[in-house]
Structure 1
Amino acid sequence: MTVKLDFEECLKDSPRFRAAIEDVEGDVNELETRLEKLVKQCNSMLEAGRTYCQHSKSFVNGLRELGHHCSEDKTMGDCLEKFSKKLSIILNAHEELIEATQKSVRMKLQSFVKDDVKRFKDVRKEFERSSETLETALGRNAQAPRGKQHEVEEASLALLNARRIFRSEALDYVLQINVIESRKKTEILMAMLSLMEAQALFFQQGHQSLTELEEYRRQLSDEHTQLVLNSAREKRDMEQRHAAIKKKDVSYDDLIMDFSPDAPNGIVMEGYLYKRASNAFKTWSRRWFSIQKNQLVYQKKYKEQPTVVVEDLRLCTVKPCAEQDRRFCFEVVSPSKSCLLQADSERQQQGWMSAVQNSIASAFQERREDTLSPRERCSSVSAGSVNLVGGEQSNSGCKALEEVQAIPGNGHCCDCGEPAPDWASINLGITLCITCSGIHRSLGVHFSKVRSLTLDSWEPELIKLMCELGNTAINRIYEARIDEITIKKPHPSSPRQDKESWIRSKYVEKKFIHKLPETGRAPPLRRSSARRNRATTQEKPGTRPVLKPKPSRATLPRLTGLNPSEIMKNSFDSHKDDEDEEDLSGLHPGALLYRSAALQHFPVMADALAHGADVNWVNVAEDSRTPLIQAATVNSLAACEFLLQNGANVNQADSIGRGPLHHATILGHTGLVCLFLKRGADYNAKDIHQKDPITIAVDSANADIVTLLRIAKMNKEMREMDGFAQSGDETYHDIFRDFSQMASHNPEKLKRRSADIKIP
């Protein structure tokens, strides 16, 4: 222990001793003040720490409760659970730190102030008292008269006692000074050492707890980075979908109506309708109607039990109601009651009536199919389209389903990939699932014409058209740039909104097709020998001039990501030894459609239409012929059907007044004549020689074509007569159906019977 004051020095009571005592007393007073302040600060720190721990525990409990709420999301649930546990461990260690600080700092320092410093002050008071007594005794001793012996003795005795007491108190005071100086060092250092050890233990426990999560934190950080990227991508998709929806008409509610007989939730149709009450007031109420489980039901709120309007749709009928003052009304009539409903628009009215009618048909169909196999079910659906051609029975519904799905890529939905699609877009040549077909239907027939592969009857030319294209070929056109963009293609379980956004971007906005470049050349397009031979039976070599675009219209080079040679590579490889080639690299979309129609290259035709080709483009260099006339001259039934389904004008004539029907009649293409007549061709149109198709057919002695033209004319006359429309239509459709079957399956039976015919 270091000696602050010497004991021998205190016996002398020298000025040096007194000065040392004053210094020590000043130090002790300053130490007491600072220690008292430090103890107060420590108390405040401890109170704040306890408050922090209390609020932190509440925060950790909130994290734990949030983790329980998000337990369905495994990533969030695990993250919140693990982190809340570790934070709880750290908070417990923090509480231990607070208690250690309480014991090692506050209590020790407070004890030093209350005990050691107080004892020092008490000893100092005794020292000061004995010092004053000594001063008094010294004064009396000095003042004692020499002549008074007894006073001298009393003064001397008092001085001796006072000096003895003073020296004892002085020694005690010096001892206390040295003791407090020593304890000051030990107590403060011990308090600080204990505090640092508690802090080190706290941080060590926290570090250990967080180190255990190091691998998990690294994994979570990687997941978070991926989530940020996905979130940015989804945000872009959402913004694009938002922009697409904002572009819709304000009456977009009409577009989202969709009859879905195979909907997974069993609701085939739903939406708001007004319902007239059956009470005396006849009030109208807006309710949410739906067709589900072969019933028509409605409800006011989502959690309400639906009210059944029609128990069994098979027992009811639906019809428009024009007797009411309100617009867009229709009536659902059952044996027990009648329900009057009102839609918001004429389109919604027609949609709901059609949905009820289709539900009635589906209900009857399901009942028949309960005991049928899938193939028998397909046969029963299309039984109305069975025809006898050449002794063979053709089932159009079953044939369409089997042949179309057999095309590579058609076994899955073209847009979402759902397996076994049973719907199709006949102008695009693709197969679709029920959900995507509804979205295609909402685009409008100028974008997509939807038909069921099982519920609708299929003409043979439509089946041939579907087999010429397919999902793989069309996706190579409309998804050519899918790898260059960040939009994700939907999958079968994607929400309907995602599928709708994708389909609109793909077919309406055409975001994924290759753009026409400003420079470049495409490889030449070759015509296979088989098709060339078919074409040469009607064309004389060298009579057709080289295709030249209009002088006033710039010719765009063709170098798309889906160039013609790539599209038809498989079909060309088998004819490499016997083929000629035709360079289409400099053609703009309209001219490309024109030339590819003559070459019967369907994917190239689809590519041209995707790039904005006018389906009725006119080639002024070749008598103002159209792509439809080109397809007719090579007797391509499927190519003509493809152009007609995409809006080709069946009556658009060339520069000499001949339309597609004229050319088909002149060349003796009976199947095409049948097709054009079914699509509304004018059999009375005359060319510059004042000859109509009937006259041309009579001159060429083609009995089949004459028969078709005269039946079409007679059918129109019968339709204009009261009482004969129905029978006339039946006869007309029966004959034309037979000719369509024969043109598709037995074209050799429709070959020209006459010799070479001179064409005026």
Structure 2
Amino acid sequence: MLNDRLLNFVDVDLHDVKDARKRFDKASLVYDQIREKYLSLKKGTRADITTAIEEELHSARSSFEQARFNLVTAISHIEAKKRFEFLEAVSATMDSHLRYFKQGYELLHQMEPYINQVLAYSQQSRERANKEQASLLERMHEYKKQIERDSRSSGNGLNVSPNVDGIQTIGRSSHKMIEAVMQSSTKGKTIRQGYLSKRSSNLRGDWKRRFFVLDSRGMLYYYRKQINRPAGVSQVQRTNNTPEHGSGLLSRLFSSHYHGIHDEKSVARHTVNLLTSTIKVDAEQSDLRFCFRIISPMKIYTLQAESALDQMDWIEKITGVIASLLNAQSPEQCLHSPRSCGHDRSASESSSYTSSVELETSTSEDLTLEKNTGNGQHHHRTNIKPEKPIDLLRRVDGNTICADCGAAEPDWASLNLGALLCIECSGVHRNLGVHISKVRSLTLDVRVWEPSVINLFQSLGNMFVNRVWEETLPSSNNGSSVDNTSTNGSQAAQYLTTTKPKHSDPFSAKEKFIHAKYADKEFVWRHSIDEIHIAQQMWDSVTANDKKGVYNLIVASHANVNLVYGQMASGLLLNLGKALKQEQPTSPPDGSPRFFDCNSHEKVSPRESLSPPSTSSHVDELDDRYEGFSLLHLACRVADVGMVELLLQYGASVNVSDSRGRMPLHHCILKGRHLHAKLLLSRGADTHAIDRDGRSALQYAMDRSTSDEDMLALLEEHFR
């Protein structure tokens, strides 16, 4: 304020005085010259010459007087401004400072109670941390002493002698102690936990180190590590997969748990129902020390401890838990079906499993590449160090700036709109409601950025999103043009009056623009297309995996994402059948019939129609095979996971069934699309649903010997 006034005084007012002075000096010089000329006339000069010079003198004098008055006026104006201009500027500046610091003082004064609370909380946190640190050091010291005592006891030649049944003889006092713990604890208190080596049940019979937990509810479960195996180790295991290598020292040499493993992700797995199990020592494992077996009706688990003391302690604790369970259970409670033994999980396991799956989703280091070849669908797995979502998404066209105001380096996003936003615009989006915009942070909400969401964002980008939402906006940078003669009255008025705000514009301008853009859709070009044609385009776009086309139809034409095959015209049925026929057929391992003709290899455009002679018969065939197919069914079979995410974001029903009673989850399992299946499970897919053949998704997965253990664990968890 002060600088502006002073600069205006120097640049404008003083400049006017200088110009007036120049004009005065020039007029004064001319007047002096003419006056000298007039005074130098002789008495005998002709009258006409004298008259002309007098007129010239009169004109010069008038110009001189006018210039003099102008100069006096300018100087007077400057002198007047000198008295108040500077003082007003200084006073206004001081007043602004006063109000600023006064408001700051009032705000901090209001925050004083909260500041005191934070200080008190930080002090309490410091004291609590010191106590926890001291307790941790004490426990570590006790643990070191215990290790030394165990080492000395182990050095004295402590051996375990099994009885005739292979079960170690254990005192009743230990059983009573374990039973007391189980009866007194209802929250699953840990009785014993630690690392054990577990022998795999495959032909190689390799050993893997797992973390086992035995709690007071009688549940024994372990955490399975998901690791990135070196290529060399995998090759060695493939070349040494004979049965004789599985049980001895050679398989131990090739086991991955003897190498340093980092960045591991754990998933809780239910191991055994101890109520119907028994334990044996060293049975069938005479070549390795410290081994024992847990034998259940469903499976035999061969385990190895790290020392004789650990082996004895595990056997004692497990045997005590089995005895306590048998004493506490009534005959009716002891009867469990084999299916329950194989698939039930406790509440604690469910929570552990859920949290670990979320961790796996947010920090996955395995990138799955699905490639369709002539022989079917193959999955190739390559280990790639994951990039941050913000780095991946900013490489998409237009994502280096905010979609609404153009601010650089946006770090927020709208999940359903597919746009990157700055923090200021994200606040406006949050006020719109989740039915319009679901706002998440690119850096804070790490669990949100699943592969499906990243795939969707990489397929769209701010540049394309703005071409859809700002198609009729004149100042839009989306590169599209609008013919004013074809717009309706309201759109034409909006075209002439509305401009897109900049990053430096007031918050109110951004808020008004965002409401008009997304809530009112004032800049979306509304296509005058009938519903049948929109449905046709939706099917074609999903078939072609055209996420931009589907997005445009949803936003601009209000397309129905829950379209069902059989409810549209016959032309749509023909195109859908031809599109589905282009799928690469896969032959299920159990010999179940294929959905599509495997002898057809022609490449047909999704928009081409069938030839007239076969139209009628093919429509009847499609009606039988694909009746009840939804867009989500189709996407799960022919599109990638980003298309499934797009449909789910805009309300596609995850539990809709086709004419065979099969839901999208069934089709994902049948097609071997495990990434799609995991996405559907995370969005509430019903694993208990059975088709008309009486089979669930879990049964199909088991029949096909699915190797994806994560998906099987998810299916089992949701099936429980």
Q: Same fold by TM-score, threshold 0.5 exceeded?
A: no
Please give the range of the TM-score, normalised by the shorter of the 2 chains: 0.3 to 0.5
Report which of the two structures shows the higher radius of gyration computed on alpha carbons.
1
TM-score (norm 1): 0.38
TM superposition score normalised by structure 2: 0.40
